[in-house]
Structure 1
């Protein structure tokens, strides 16, 4: 059921996903396709904010902030997985893999290499603070408009 808390959480985490995606795209090597990363992470943030943070309001601000951090971690994981699959498909179209199993193993290797690029203090701090704020915003909206 749509609520104000879900709407605010979805919008907050969509904005956070877009900003995080743009910051992360700056860390990628030159020539890596990044045009889709910002909007894709915004879409993942929108869905995760609606389903995770917006659905768990009403338990207090501390619980909402921890839920916000959980939402950010989930958003980052899903975004990295989706982007790794996207890059794997691009590489598979160029016949860079010998078979489907090697391509699937390539997804996990890509995710690990991209996770290392994500572990920059600026990005991690922005995601942590954004998760805390996003959780607080959803809790505030849940209390304001019941």
Structure 2
């Protein structure tokens, strides 16, 4: 059921996803196409904000900020997974894998490689602060309009 907390959480985490996607794109090697990172991460943030942080609002500001950080980490996970699958599919079309199992293992390897890039201090700080703010905003909206 739509609530104000879900709406505010979805919008806050969509903005956080857009910001995080841009920051992650800066960590990649020069020449890597990054035009879709922001919008794709914003979509992931929208869904995660609605389903996680917005759904769990109403339990207090401390819990909400913790839930916000959980939502931010979930955005990072799904974003890394989506990007790794995209790279795997590109490599698979070039016949760089010898079978489907090697391609699936390649996704995990790519996720681990990209997770190292995601450990940039500015990206982690943005996710942490954005998670706190997004969770608190969802809690505020839930209290204000419930």
TM tier, smaller: over 0.9
| Cα deviation, residue 124, structure 1 | 0.4
Q: 2:115, 2:90 → 1: CA distance?
A: 19
Separation in 2, partners of 1:98, 1:58: 50
Q: Give TM-score scaled by structure 2 length.
A: 0.98
Q: What residue in structure 2 maps to residue 37 of structure 1?
A: 37
Counterpart-to-counterpart distance in 2, 1:28 and 1:12: 25
Corresponding residue SS for 1:56: coil
Uncovered stretches (5+) of structure 1, i.e. residues with no partner = none
Task: Identify the residue that residue 7 of structure 1 maps to in structure 2.
Answer: 7
Match of 2:72 in 1: 72
Distance in 2 of aligned mates of 1:108 and 1:57: 33
Residue 60 of structure 1 is matched in structure 2 by: 60
Once the two structures are superposed, what CA deviation does each residue of 1:47-73 show, in whole Å capped at 9, x if it has no partner?
000000000011100000000000001
Q: How large is the RMSD of aligned CA atoms in angstroms?
A: 0.7
Q: Which moved more, 1:48-57 or 1:88-97?
A: 88-97
- Which whole-Å CA distance do the structure 1 matches of 2:133 and 2:40 have between them? 21
Aligned pairs (5 A) from 1:1-146: 1-146=1-146
TM, length-normalised to structure 1: 0.98
Deviations 1:63-110 (A, max 9, x none): 000000000011100110011001100111111111111111110000
Q: Secondary structure at the match of 2:55?
A: helix
Secondary structure of 1:126's counterpart equals helix
How many angstroms apart in 1 are the aligned matches of 2:123 and 2:75? 14
- Greater than 3 Å deviation, 4+ residue runs: none
> In 2, Cα distance between the equivalents of 1:9 and 1:101?
37
Unpaired runs of at least 5, structure 2 = none
